[in-house]
Structure 1
Amino acid sequence: MPKIQYKEIRFQKKSLDLIELVNQVVDEYSAQGYELTLRQVYYQLVARGYIPNNERSYKNVGSLINDGRLAGLIDWHSVTDRTRNLRKESHWDNPADVIASARYSYNLDKWKGQPNYVEVWVEKDALVDIVGQACSPLDTPYFSCRGYTSQSEMWSAAQRFIRQEQKESSSIWATMTQAVLI
């Protein structure tokens, strides 16, 4: 975990105490396998009663984390940004590596043939990874509304639900047909 000092910054004791609390929160969640965003760290500090819940506190925590990183007091990997990512094409050295990579993508649909279709939606994007860790082992799709759901995503969801309902109806019809034939 890199704590690299790029800048000499003199912090007040109050700021140093808050940096220590930030590190404690991040370490606690990291030990459980979670990476926190700035917003998640902020809400943890609010929920624990360390800071008030207002825009000024949020901005102060963001600035403090930035300065804490530059001063080498906060690990550069400790707070993640899930909304700004480098995108690039995948590359392999040989065909065997492509096949080995595909092995990790292969999954059977655990929901195929189930009587109900389930999706989990969460309002706050800050919680999507926590929800995802619960949903992934169950092969349950999950989605972050990011405060509100766009019209485009609502339409896409409606189309998924319609497709699932059609599958259910045809499955029920096939079962009824089999029952009649027996």
Structure 2
Amino acid sequence: MIVFLDVEFTDLLSPELLSLGLVTLDGREFYAELDLTTDIGKARVKASNDFVRYGSIFDMWGLVPGSTGTEWEIGRRTGEWLLGLAAESGTKIEIAFDYGMDYELMEYVIRDSGLWDQVREVVFPVNVNPITGTITGELGAEACFRELGKRGLKRHHALADALALRAAYIDFMQESSSKLPMGSFA
């Protein structure tokens, strides 16, 4: 099973989690965002760089009903969702990302919730940037972002970026398999 991950965070120098999106290859979605009304939420907004603070990231807060929570709740719900997928599939889950900090922040938040010892047994990280960062992957992601506009989601929303990563992966894999010589296996 493959799950695509994207995380939004405060800044590159001292990254702290703001939101997290996960999407399975078959399209199931999970999204969680930090409650910005809490003391921690307010501190994270203040710690965010100008791009995060004045860009469109916080403008898209609250678009996914029921997704807001404390950092502990985000970690707990994320861990439980991944454990549920692993139990359902009976296999380990590949967590596909295009930026290593995304995986690290997901790990930290699950660790802080007390579930990492269980989750680490059923997941393994895979950096898919070498394939999704291709022309085919970029075109797939752009098409996905255009479609997501209908949902009010756009680039730099963790769920939108996870969906775009999935689209890039699918398009790249489809193109690659169509170029295999007869008798080859993917």
Same fold (TM over 0.5): no
Per the shorter chain, which TM-score range?
A: under 0.3
Give TM-score scaled by structure 2 length.
Answer: 0.21
Please identify the structure whose Cα radius of gyration is greater.
1
